[in-house]
Amino acid sequence: MSEKKVVVQRGLWFEEFETGVLYLHRPGRTITEADNVFFTTLTMNTQALHLDAAFSDALPPFNARLVNSMFTLSTLVGLSVTQLTQGTIVGNLGFSDIAFPKPLFHGDTLYAETEVVDKRPSKSRPGEGIVTFAHTGRNQHGDVVATATRKTMVRMRPADDPAQ
């Protein structure tokens, strides 16, 4: 009897990333009121736009509570992990160009996509490389609700990797 092939879910090694490739991360994540309140209070953010329905409902232009933009950003990046960086990332190096063109509301579903915009071997850390991602978050209507550029340090494929 032959051994079964085993596949371990992981992100991509540095060598597997190609600039210009767009990854669509599915499934999306429907954001609930509980998610928003928990994240907002957990992070000590007392902004009434996230917590106080009477206040928010009376305030134009949205007349509703908004999902905390830091939760939106965290979820946007989190949706990419399984496909791109699970077990292969060393760490985040920084975020830039963060924008929230439209808000998310309770009950909206966030879908994420990521384009690899740059990559280069690390000059100071052999066996690792820097990959730059452009993340875009869209709601269920296709409206862009968040964008961010993220630089990461990613491991190169180990020499003993059987897939090599």
pLDDT in tens, 3-34: 898 878 899 999 999 999 999 999 999 999 99
Position 75 pLDDT exceeds 60: yes
Whole-number pLDDT of residue 8: 84
Check: CB of residue 153 under 8 Å from CB of residue 93. yes
What is the value of pTM for the model shown?
A: 0.92
Report how far Cα 136 is from the mean position of its chain's Cα atoms. 8
Position 96 pLDDT exceeds 90: yes
Report how far Cα 37 is from the mean position of its chain's Cα atoms. 20
Calpha distance 164→156 (Å, rounded):
11
Check: CB of residue 147 under 8 Å from CB of residue 158. no
* Average pLDDT estimate for 127-141: 98
Whole-number pLDDT of residue 164: 56
Tokens standing for residue 85:
């960086």
The single-letter code of the amino acid at 72 is T
* Average pLDDT estimate for 84-100: 97
Helix H or strand E segment including 153: strand 144-155
* Average pLDDT estimate for 94-122: 98
Domains of the chain: 17-30+67-153 (3.10.129.10)
124: which residues sit within 8 A by CB, 6+ positions away? none
Whole-number pLDDT of residue 163: 63
Q: How confident is the model at residue 2 (pLDDT cuts 50, 70, 90)?
A: confident
Tokens standing for residue 148:
């961010």
